[in-house]
Amino acid sequence: MTLFALHRSGEHTHTIVGYSLVKGIGDGEPIASERFVVGGWEWVLLFYPDGKRSSSEGPMGNGPAGEVGGHAAAVALPIVGGAPLQAGRGDDAGLDPNEYAALFVALIGEGPNPQGIVSTTEGKVVRAFHRFTLVDQTGQGRDLTKGRTRDAGAVKISCARQDPNARNCHGYRKFVKRSLLEDPSKGYLQNDALVIRYTIELVVSSGGALTRGGFTSRSAGDLVRVPPPSLGVDMAALLGREEGTDVTLLVDGEEFKAHKFLLEARSSYFRSLLNNSMREGREGRAVVHDIRAPVFRALLHFVYTDTLPEGMDDNDLDVEMAQHLLAAADAMALERLRRLCERRLCETVDTETVAFTLALADKNHAEELKKVCLDYVGRNLATVMKTEGYSHMMSSCPGLQAEILSTIAALGGAPAEGRPHGHGGRGGSGGLGGAGGGAGGGRVRELALEAEEVRRVRPRRD
């Protein structure tokens, strides 16, 4: 029979904030970490700021390096800065254990598929190599680490009793001198916080006579690595191939070959465009108007994969591209894409782009984006009026003038940056220019009331 010797690794970081408040809590009183799972077992770290030497520890042995536990038979060497120290009592000899903070790990629970159980004359145990590290938070690499070295063999941790004060609790009564821990020059205590990192390698042996249940199908299944979902990658590859395509879309003088069933499944716009009762559907060719080829290429990638192409994710999405994609997504009934672009544009509103973006939001049902833009224009009207986009906005969406006035009124009168200057003679497109002059905020409020009336009677857009 073959014996499989493997390990299950895990790491947990225990951050203690407010050390000055817990110091003095008393001997044998731990600060516990959150539970964490390794190898199907639940573990918890126990840090004792005032040491651990209570009577409940009586049965536990104390090795030369301060390691305690029901099965500690070999010396565990402390490691500082990555190098083991020499074995022996050294500076620790004869010192009161209460001069030290203690650190332990406890096995406290069994999950549905615990691994690594070995039956011994001392009962059921798990075997592990583990390391306790007090992190140097200044980044100078002076971490203090104590752990079980490979040549010392694995530590045995009892499974029989799940009691942090029993023999399944392993660690160091003399983990670190409190004077060393609290020394500002060492970097362990920063902003009244400590960071403790614990790593464990649980030894899992399967196939031997002493292991529980042998090499079960569940433990064997853990050896199989399941790759991440690849549908998006596969669909992107499908888009890049012409095989199986049955429709050609003509966009801005460029041809895009695609799969009709997929386009129709993703968008009501394409269902209508490629309907078999229409000439485009029967011939398998259709012209898509009012969109540039690079924009459509990105949109088509989204149709196939539900993501934008590489380089257009999140903060990498260019503002101008986001504007074009938002308009196209609204026209082609791609709601998720429209909202992605709307969110990106909300994050990038500035003086130069806000007027173009506001007009875009007004035309393409982007209500949240519209609110953000109106607020920005209301607070920065004078500078926005100097931009090219402002004239475009006033000519393409004259109704926005009323909404801008309402926003200014809601903000408390004239824009916060002061009255706009030098735009009073712009005529219709610059009608807001006189809103802040002469009569000041009072005139703004009068115009806002008129604007509100215009909005009330204006037909509601579907």
Which of 268, 337, 344, 339 shows the shortest CA–CA distance to 305?
Answer: 337
In a shared domain, residues 77 and 161:
yes
Cα separation, 338 vs 35, whole angstroms:
42
- Does residue 174 lie in a domain region? yes
| Residue 149 confidence (pLDDT) | 72
In a shared domain, residues 245 and 205:
no
- Does residue 85 lie in a domain region? yes
Query: Which residue, of 163, 188, 221, is where some domain finishes?
Result: 221
In a shared domain, residues 111 and 53:
yes
| Residue 347 confidence (pLDDT) | 93
Three-state SS string over the chain comes to CCCEEEEEEEEEEEEEECHHHHCCCCCCCCEECCCEEECCEEEEEEEECCCCCCHHHCCCEECCCCEEECCCCCCCCEEECCEECCCCCHHHCCCCHHHEEEEEEEEEEECCCCCCCEEECCEEEEEEEEEEEECCCCCCCCCEEEECCHHHCCEEEECCCCCCCCCCEEEEEEEEEHHHHCCHHHCCCECCEEEEEEEEEEEEEECCCCECCCCCHHHHHCCCCCCCCCHHHHHHHHHHCCCCCCEEEEECCEEEEECHHHHHHHCHHHHHHCCCCCHHHHHCEEEECCCCHHHHHHHHHHHHHCCCCCCCCHHHCCHHHHHHHHHHHHHCCCHHHHHHHHHHHHHCCCCCCHHHHHHHHHHCCCHHHHHHHHHHHHHCHHHHCCCHHHHHHHHHCCCHHHHHHHHHHHCCCCCCCCCCCCCCCCHHHHHHHHHHCCCCHHHHHHHHHHHHHHHHHCCCCC
Phi, psi of 320 (to 5 degrees): -65, -40
Q: How many residues comprise the chain?
A: 462
- Does residue 24 lie in a domain region? yes
- Does residue 124 lie in a domain region? yes
Residue type, 4: F
Cα separation, 19 vs 197, whole angstroms:
16
Cα separation, 311 vs 232, whole angstroms:
16
Residue type, 330: D
Cα separation, 101 vs 117, whole angstroms:
31
Tell me what percent of the residues of the chain surpass a pLDDT of 90.
44
Residue 457's domain comprises 369-462
The domain that holds 101 is classified in CATH as 2.60.210.10
- Does residue 126 lie in a domain region? yes
**Cβ atoms < 10 Å from Cβ of 245:** 16
| Residue 271 confidence (pLDDT) | 92
In a shared domain, residues 78 and 30:
yes
- Does residue 162 lie in a domain region? yes
**Count of domains observed in the chain:** 3
In a shared domain, residues 306 and 343:
yes
In a shared domain, residues 286 and 331:
yes
- Does residue 394 lie in a domain region? yes
pLDDT tens for each residue of the chain, 462 residues long: 444 445 567 889 999 999 999 888 888 889 999 988 887 788 889 999 999 875 444 333 334 345 555 433 333 334 444 444 333 333 444 445 478 999 998 888 776 666 666 656 556 677 788 899 999 999 888 999 998 777 777 777 776 454 444 446 788 899 999 999 999 999 999 999 999 999 988 776 544 444 444 444 445 555 677 888 889 889 989 998 888 899 999 999 999 999 999 999 999 999 999 987 777 777 889 999 999 999 999 999 999 999 999 889 778 899 999 999 999 999 999 999 999 999 999 999 999 999 999 999 999 999 999 999 999 999 999 999 999 999 999 999 999 999 999 999 988 865 555 443 333 333 444 455 544 444 444 545 555 555 555 445 444 444
Which of 191, 64, 79 shows the shortest CA–CA distance to 131?
Answer: 79
In a shared domain, residues 20 and 148:
yes
In a shared domain, residues 273 and 149:
no
In a shared domain, residues 387 and 335:
no
In a shared domain, residues 189 and 318:
no
- Does residue 73 lie in a domain region? yes
Q: In Å, how far are 45, 48, 94, 344 from 27, measured between CA atoms?
A: 17, 7, 19, 55
In a shared domain, residues 284 and 204:
no
| Residue 216 confidence (pLDDT) | 46
Query: Which residue, of 280, 313, 348, is where some domain finishes?
Result: 348
| Residue 366 confidence (pLDDT) | 94
In a shared domain, residues 24 and 169:
yes
Query: Which residue, of 317, 348, 379, is where some domain finishes?
Result: 348
